[in-house]
Amino acid sequence: MKKLFVSALIATMFVSTLAACSSNNEPSGSASAPASSAASSEKPSEPAKADPTGFSISMRTLNVSYVEQHPDINKDKYVLELEKMTNTDLDIRLIPHNEYQDKMVQMFATNDIPDVVQGSGGISGNELAGAVPNGVFLPLNDLLKEHGQNLLKFIPQEAWARMTDSKTGNIYGIPEILSNPSRRATWIRTDLLEKTGKPVPKTVEETIDVLRAFKELGVEQPYAGRKNFKYADTFFGSYDVLGYLNSFKQFPDGKVKPSFFDAEAMKKALLAYKAMYDEGLISKEFATVESADFKSIVTSGKAGMWSMNANELPIWGAQLMANVPGAKVALIPSPVGDDGKGGYGHYNPVTRSYFINVKAKDKAAEIVKFFDWMVGEQAELFFSYGIEGEDYQTDGSNVQYVAPTDEEGTNKQRYLNYWLWMVQDTTYNKRIADLSEPGKMMVDAFDNMLSKEGRRGIEFEPRLEALVKYPDLNPLSDQLPPLVLEHVLKMVYGKEPIDNYEKVLEEYLSKGGNEVIEEATARYNDKDNAFE
């Protein structure tokens, strides 16, 4: 068990923190940290003389329960507090997580575009429907120089490059960043693993062996799958055949192709998934499981192993332990394939981004100031702990905060730490992580395990024109292209022989794939916005 980077022993945590509480009369999971001088000096300013700047903003719900279950997010007390601190009047327009792509395209098609549009990455994402080249958004260069100096200092050039039109040098969006691109991890129920008597698995074969042992224990879903292999791509990562937007590779013939063109490796990954499907190690309905159901399966204790973002550990772990007393969970190294490597697709350095509608030019300066405030100390305190005097106390030099452990509290914390904090380094919240042993171990996993694993290839920004031209060949950020995905699912379900995989590649080439590879190779050789 030495490789267990995190053992979220919530029950143990409860005991230890309660013991601490009894010894020092401080609440469990509480913070008693020095408040920065900047924080103390950045008390909410005097009531603004100017009227609040009102602007509308579209935001994806991101499967955040607090948001999706809220009767009116615009009347939420934290939104109202945010408005008070930034002298704004927000009109947040929610985009349902699972309908994000379609709703965004619809928004642009109907020209019902808010003042600020939240994107999911760079300037050429599918969700933006070509809005940047069509002149929908304002260039931000001058506005950032005048009103966004904190943003310019906080956000690395690598992220700004993703928001910049290379032909004009214009910056079109403000990015939220991810400093550690290896964000997803393999999770395992260590209490179940202990019952099997097996060690932490390292290879694909050892992992499937553990899943079989979980099944013998009666675990309902030894491996929790999810629709279209999203957050269920563990074994594609083992064999480096993820095939996403950033998964192009230069092959021995010198051509740059999607990683799934390694047919032998893809067949090995498919054989692993098919064995899991045939033996009942993954749900027969996994290909239809949506994100909310996936979380419910995990936190209700039905799963033995799964993939999820590592920064969810303190919250998902707490919810799992609350529902299943005695359960324990850990992040472990992802199973390795033939090359001794594994892990998930690396994220690009931009997780969310914010574009300003040209029609909102008259208030663009105040909008930039709003985002500039997000990277300051006052924002860090608010989005980490909540409202001063209600959620936490401070004497000007120390902060007293009680970390929530129930589902309602952890959902609220995730909302504040993750969703409402629009521009930050979203790798993890160090202030919250430091409050618990699982949190500290999560940080250790990011720094010492995840930073050494994961798959990343070549990515083109803006994306290849051939991918736009042929939608069936166009992958999402973490899903195979529709043409390949359809065949792969049939192969796992036993409706198409895995040995036919070369024919899938032939079909891909015949339906525009040759143009994709030709363009990818040329842009890579020309160093034309090809990121590695």
The tens digit of pLDDT for each residue in 511-521 reads 999 999 999 99
Nearest to 159 by CA among 101, 104, 108, 119: 119
Residues in Cβ contact with 499 at an 8 Å cutoff, skipping those fewer than 6 apart: 267
Q: Are residues 487 and 338 in the same domain?
A: yes
Residue 43 confidence class, pLDDT cut points 50, 70, 90: low
pLDDT band at 3 (very low <50, low <70, confident <90, very high): very low
Can you give the pLDDT at residue 175?
97
At 476, the pLDDT band (50, 70, 90 cuts) reads confident
C-alpha span between 260 and 453 (Å, rounded): 19
Q: Do the domain assignments include residue 114?
A: yes
Q: Count Cβ atoms within 10 A of the Cβ of residue 429 and give its class: 0-12 exposed, 13-18 middle, 19 or more buried.
A: buried
pLDDT at 314: 81
What's phi and psi for 251, nearest 5 deg?
-90, 170
pLDDT of residue 46: 59
Confidence of residue 528 (pLDDT cuts 50, 70, 90): confident
Contact 353, 45 (CB under 8 A): no
414 has a pLDDT exceeding 50: yes
Q: At residue 27, does pLDDT exceed 80?
A: no
Q: Are residues 328 and 466 in the same domain?
A: yes
Residues 358-364: what's their mean pLDDT? 97
pLDDT given for residue 228 in this prediction: 92
- Residue 79 inside a domain? The answer is yes
The total number of structural domains in the chain stands at 2
518 within a domain of the structure (yes/no): yes
DSSP E strand stretches across 159-302: 174-177, 184-189, 221-223, 248-250, 256-258
DSSP code of 229?
G
pLDDT digits (tens, 9 = 90+) for 484-498: 999 999 999 999 999
392-394 and 398-402 beta bridge pairing: antiparallel
The CA-based angle 167-171-173, given to 5 degrees, is 130
In a domain, 244, yes or no: yes
Instruction: Please report the pLDDT score of residue 372 as a whole number.
Output: 98
Per-residue pLDDT tens digits for 289-310: 998 899 999 999 999 999 999 9
First-to-last alpha carbon distance for the chain, in angstroms, is 34
Pairing label, strands 30-34, 398-402 = antiparallel
Q: For residue 225, give the 3-state DSSP assignment.
A: coil
Provide the residue type at 482 as one letter: P
Per-residue confidence (pLDDT) for residue 48, from 0 to 100: 55
More confident residue, 7 or 401: 401
- Provide the pLDDT confidence category of residue 407 given band limits of 50, 70 and 90: confident
The pLDDT of 204-221, averaged and rounded, is 97
pLDDT of 312 reads: 86
Q: Domain ends where: 413, 429, 445?
A: 429
200 and 162 share one domain: no
Asked if 476 and 464 sit in the same domain, the reply is yes
Residues 332 and 360 in one domain: no
Shared-domain flag, residues 275 and 312: yes
515, 460: one domain = yes
DSSP bridge partners of 133: none
Statement: residue 37 has pLDDT above 50: no
Task: Give residue 32's pLDDT.
Answer: 53
Residue 427 Cα distances to 88, 184, 211, 352, 445, angstroms: 27, 10, 29, 13, 12
Query: Is 32 within the bounds of a domain?
Result: no
What pairs with residue 458 in β-bridges? 248
Percent of the chain at pLDDT exceeding 70: 91
Q: For the chain, what is the radius of gyration of the CA atoms?
A: 24
Give the mean pLDDT of 405-419: 90
C-alpha closest to that of 173 among 108, 121, 95 = 121
- Residue 292: its pLDDT value, please? 86
Q: How confident is the model at residue 7 (pLDDT cuts 50, 70, 90)?
A: very low
- 233-265 pLDDT, tens per residue? 999 999 999 999 889 999 999 999 999 999 999
In a domain, 355, yes or no: yes
Question: With 50 as the cut, is the pLDDT of residue 33 above it?
Answer: no
- In this prediction, residue 343 has a pLDDT band, given cuts at 50, 70 and 90, of very high
* 386 lies in the same domain as 486: no
- Asked if 108 and 208 sit in the same domain, the reply is no
Q: Are 365 and 373 in contact (CB under 8 A)?
A: no
**Helices in 340-436 by DSSP H: which ranges?**
364-373, 377-385, 407-414, 430-433
More confident residue, 318 or 369: 369
Label residue 421 exposed, middle or buried (CB < 10 Å: 0-12, 13-18, 19+): buried
Read off the pLDDT band of 126 (50, 70, 90). confident
- Is 45 part of any domain? no
Buried b (16+ CB within 10 A) or exposed e, 326-344: ebbbbbbbbbbbeeebbbb
Boundaries of domain holding 232: 184-346+454-531
Q: What is the CATH number of the domain that holds 305?
A: 3.40.190.10
- Residue 178, classed as helix, strand or coil, is coil
pLDDT band at residue 44 under the 50/70/90 scheme = low
| Percentage of the residues of the chain whose pLDDT score is greater than 90 | 72
* Confidence (pTM): 0.75
Closest by CA position to 6, among listed 451, 448, 453, 452: 448
Confidence of residue 22 (pLDDT cuts 50, 70, 90): very low
What pLDDT score does 40 carry? Answer: 45
| C-alpha distances in Å from residue 112, one per residue of 88, 295, 357 | 21, 32, 11
| 280 within a domain of the structure (yes/no) | yes
Do 220 and 335 fall into the same domain?
A: yes
Q: Assess whether 369 and 512 both reside in one domain.
A: no
Query: What's the whole-number average pLDDT of the chain?
Result: 89
Asked if 468 and 201 count as a contact pair (C-beta separation under 8 A), the reply is no
What would the mean pLDDT of 131-160 be, rounded to a whole number? Answer: 96
Across 37-46, 88-97, 373-382, least confident range: 37-46
Peptide bond into 471 cis (omega under 30): no
On the question of pLDDT at 14 being above 60, the answer is no
- pLDDT at position 19 over 80: no
Do both 196 and 130 map to the same domain? no
HSE (side-chain half, CA atoms, 13 Å) at 104: 22
Does residue 13 register a pLDDT over 60? no
**Average pLDDT rounded to a whole number, residues 472-487:** 93
Q: Is the pLDDT of residue 396 over 80?
A: no
What pLDDT is attached to residue 15? 30
